[in-house]
Amino acid sequence: GENVEQHPSTLSVQEGDSAVIKCTYSDSASNYFPWYKQELGKRPQLIIDIRSNVGEKKDQRIAVTLNKTAKHFSLHITETQPEDSAVYFCAASPHNFNKFYFGSGTKLNVKP
């Protein structure tokens, strides 16, 4: 089955700096890659996703890049703000399988 590795497990940045979280996956059949943000005490919420026919996607301060050859994808947050502090999960979903394989999460702390 699919295996998703996520790094780093914790990340501390100064407000205004950029943050990068990296994930790798093992199954070349995976074609959908969502990123979820879970704030303390709240539900995981989708913040951005990318499909395998696209190499990069941006939404304001967040962007995701995908390298299918290397089987890795990354989340980039620019101009970080304290409200970006949360646990971020990457996930991969193989084609025709309606389930997500998640990474182990990255706890991002943005220091004001």
**Does residue 8 bind other proteins (CB under 8 A)?**
no
The DSSP 8-state label assigned to residue 4 in this structure reads: E
Given 45, 54, 61, 82, the residue binding other proteins (CB under 8 A): 45
Burial class of residue 19, CB neighbours in 10 A (0-12, 13-18, 19+): buried
Q: How far is the CB of 69 from other proteins (least distance, A)?
A: 21
What is the C-alpha end-to-end distance of the chain, expressed in Å?
A: 41
Token pair 């943000």: residue: 37
Question: From CA 20, how far away is CA 25, in angstroms rounded?
Answer: 17
Q: How far is the CB of 48 from other proteins (least distance, A)?
A: 11
**Does residue 44 bind other proteins (CB under 8 A)?**
yes
**Does residue 93 bind other proteins (CB under 8 A)?**
yes
**Does residue 36 bind other proteins (CB under 8 A)?**
yes
Question: From CA 30, how far away is CA 90, in angstroms rounded?
Answer: 13
**Does residue 86 bind other proteins (CB under 8 A)?**
no
**Does residue 26 bind other proteins (CB under 8 A)?**
no
Question: From CA 92, how far away is CA 28, in angstroms rounded?
Answer: 10
Given 14, 40, 43, 112, the residue binding other proteins (CB under 8 A): 43
Q: How far is the CB of 86 from other proteins (least distance, A)?
A: 14
Type of residue found at 87 = V
**Does residue 53 bind other proteins (CB under 8 A)?**
no
